[in-house]
Chains A and B, each alone.
Chain A
């Protein structure tokens, strides 16, 4: 009887057996790399309606974060400042600048400036700025060196594993509560030990950042 299949077909099971696990591994690895927020989201820097420069205001002029984001110590959200906050200065400074036209228009029409949000957590993730600030997590720890960003971009992936990395081992991310908004504070040069900080009201051993599901998914 004639052979039904040519001889090379003997290799199909061997090749298939080798290729199938590789293909599976490749799919998982590809999603792991290209599908991660670290790849898709970090560096997101949309063009804002007003080219507001954090580098100029924070880095060069020395504004404190809390001058504009004034609720950060007491509320879950770090507020986007109302137009009036901007006008505290810009009622007198650069009154005629064409780049500030949207700001003046917002003031005149009593409509907010349509800022584009960069740090956006999903609705099912509960996050509270105030507890993190109280524990001594610096602004720059999550948001990066905003004082050096002419255009703000997303610094951290904001993925769940990124949250959990810190919740499992918070101590390396802590700084003295007084230094939270200090953009230039460097843990390597500061040689800071949170366990021996008299400024802390709550010992680091009792921080217990939640690791259970309903800590964040309430």
Chain B
């Protein structure tokens, strides 16, 4: 059982208002709304749920792999997970999103919690030897703070859903309580997602989201946009 201090660290570093830049990204939702793929509560719920499910089987696997590497003091393993995330981001905005937030999280951890594996990783990001992807940053922060890999996974999954639901409030005419209800409902899937992916390795990282990928690439060329993706 987590101590109160550990629980509060999860709350702080898992907060959707953590200043790492999530506010600037919609994770593809902006294009989806503009093009009518997402148009109401039901399609928003389905879209966010699909994105969160894909996040579990791809970046979520890297969170667990990086967490375990960090716990074992294996910096090479951490960088392997980092590289695995980066090499699987086939859209330039998705790469920008993950490395910008990853770096900001590392900088914050270095300042707020002091020297840790996240600081060493930040050094490698600055020297260009590590890409600096967000899921790896989350793994390193939570490994340094004491919570378990399950907590790191939960924060990762919550971050994806939270980012999209927060963006939906600025993109669609929906009631803020309905948005919270969607977030609450989707978060209930995370336990099963963890059980499904906890035994997987970096080579198993997989997703299938062609429409999501097309929307992300159309967003790169969009003229009118509120979000960076």
Do A and B originate from a single complex? no
Residues on A close to B: CB < 8 A?
Answer: none
